[in-house]
């Protein structure tokens, strides 16, 4: 059997979070996206397509920087821009498959599930590579229920191509329940997906990500009336830049600063402002803000 290929989906809107969650710090030298990519490269011996959408320039910068010291792995990574990511996950899944011509099947990862472990991924790999397996799909299992990561055989790529909107692999799994193999993983942090700040905070403490050193952001109170127009504009945006509950991350021209609103304004208790005009600057701003919020 040809080497297993993989797709990492990192093009979602993160509407329940605000900031691009796959760029949140996940230990020194890592963001959530690179944590997932690292595991995908371990279990998939073929190519790995990383599908980007929102904040694609910053994501590409973070990936390029991480891959600089991993030349061998980098040669297997294919970066894909999905310009239609707002239309739902089906567009990203199809974009990933198109970027891997000739693939015999793909193992699909989600960029917001960063706590994967090699031992359990190896169980998936063995099931995928088992000679004579009739399965069209193989998924990680929790109490018998299928969860990502999930392997999709090329035999069902034509069905994936017909998916619309926010449909993903789950729709395909339902259609082929009899040819789906579920590999039990048991309960554990590997199934945690970062949909909100509370989940991210819990993982950051469990995984020790909070121990990363960082330069504290100068913090001071500010009258809400002074920043109300900027806050109102941010709240009216398509993607409101929430980081944590009550905390917004906004661009600024000067030094990075943390402002505590007095009194709170429309649910906003604090804002972090700082330079963010380049991918490097935005990633640094988000990293410092996240680590400071975790330590508060």
- Within-domain flag for 200: no
User: Is residue 1 predicted with pLDDT exceeding 70?
Assistant: no
Long-range contacts of 221-225 (CB under 8 A, 24+ apart): 221/259, 221/260, 221/261, 221/262, 222/259, 222/260, 222/261, 222/262, 223/261, 223/262, 224/261, 224/262, 224/263, 224/264, 224/265
Residues 56 and 151 in one domain: yes
Domain region containing 44: 5-195
Instruction: Work out the angle between the directed axes of helices 279-295 and 197-207 (0-180°, nearest 10).
Output: 80
In this prediction, residue 72 carries a pLDDT of 79
pLDDT band at 174; cut points 50, 70, 90: confident
Report the candidate in 22, 18, 17 with the shortest Cα–Cα distance to residue 60. Answer: 22
Rounded-to-10 torsion of CA 251, 255, 256, 257: -110
What tens digit of pLDDT does each residue of 64-123 get? 999 998 877 888 999 999 999 888 888 999 999 999 999 999 999 999 999 999 999 999
Residues 180 and 220 in one domain: no
Residues 43 and 99 in one domain: yes
Report the candidate in 139, 154, 149, 150 with the shortest Cα–Cα distance to residue 103. Answer: 154
What is this structure's pTM?
Answer: 0.94
User: Is residue 184 predicted with pLDDT exceeding 80?
Assistant: yes
Residues 95 and 141 in one domain: yes
Q: How far is the C-alpha of 118 from the C-alpha of 130, rounded, in Å?
A: 18
Residues 79 and 47 in one domain: yes
Mean pLDDT of 129-153: 89
Element (H, E) at 42: helix 32-43
Structure tokens at 116: 């994967």
Residues 32 and 172 in one domain: yes
32 C-beta neighbours (distance < 10 Å), count? 27
Residues 90 and 161 in one domain: yes
Q: How many domains does the chain have?
A: 2
Residues 138 and 9 in one domain: yes
Element (H, E) at 247: strand 247-251
Mean pLDDT of 182-200: 92
Residues 70 and 157 in one domain: yes
Residues 158 and 247 in one domain: no
- Within-domain flag for 124: yes
Q: How far is the C-alpha of 109 from the C-alpha of 99, rounded, in Å?
A: 15
- Within-domain flag for 153: yes
CA distances from 294 to 24, 89, 276 (A): 11, 30, 21
Residues 70 and 22 in one domain: yes
Phi, psi of 38 (to 5 degrees): -60, -45
pLDDT band at 45; cut points 50, 70, 90: very high
Residue matched to tokens 């920043």 = 227
Most confident by average pLDDT, 85-89, 142-146, 191-195, 203-207 = 203-207
Annotate 269-280 with DSSP letters as a single string.
EEEEEE--SSHH
Residues 59 and 169 in one domain: yes
CATH of the domain at 99: 3.90.550.10
Name the DSSP class of 156. Answer: G
Cβ partners under 8 Å of residue 200, min gap 6: 21, 24, 194
């Amino acid at each position: 059997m040809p080497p297993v290929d993989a797709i990492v989906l990192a093009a979602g809107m993160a509407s329940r979070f605000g900031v691009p969650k796959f760029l949140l710090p996940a230990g020194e030298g890592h963001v959530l996206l690179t944590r997932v990519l690292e595991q995908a490269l371990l279990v998939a011996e073929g190519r790995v397509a990383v599908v980007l959408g929102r904040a694609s320039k910053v994501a590409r910068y973070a990936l390029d920087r991480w891959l600089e010291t991993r030349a061998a792995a980098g040669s297997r990574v294919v970066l894909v821009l999905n310009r239609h990511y707002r239309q739902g996950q089906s567009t990203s899944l199809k974009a990933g498959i198109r970027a891997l011509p000739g693939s015999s099947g793909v193992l699909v990862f989600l960029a917001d599930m960063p706590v994967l472990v090699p031992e359990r991924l190896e169980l998936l790999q063995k099931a995928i590579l088992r000679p004579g397996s009739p399965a069209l799909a193989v998924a990680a299992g929790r109490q018998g229920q299928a969860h990502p990561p999930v392997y999709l055989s090329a035999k069902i790529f034509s069905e994936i191509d017909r998916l619309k909107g926010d449909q993903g692999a789950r729709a395909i799994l339902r259609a082929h329940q009899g040819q789906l193999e579920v590999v039990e993983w048991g309960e554990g942090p590997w199934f945690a997906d970062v949909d909100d700040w509370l989940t991210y905070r819990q993982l950051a403490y469990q995984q020790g990500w909070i121990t990363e050193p960082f330069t504290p952001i100068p913090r001071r109170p500010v009258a809400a009336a002074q920043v109300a127009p900027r806050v109102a504009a941010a709240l009216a945006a398509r993607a409101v830049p929430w980081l944590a509950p009550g905390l917004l991350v906004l661009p600024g021209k000067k030094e990075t600063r943390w402002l505590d609103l007095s009194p709170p304004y429309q649910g906003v208790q604090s804002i972090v402002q700082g330079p963010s005009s380049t991918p490097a600057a935005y990633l640094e701003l988000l990293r410092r803000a996240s680590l400071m919020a975790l330590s508060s």
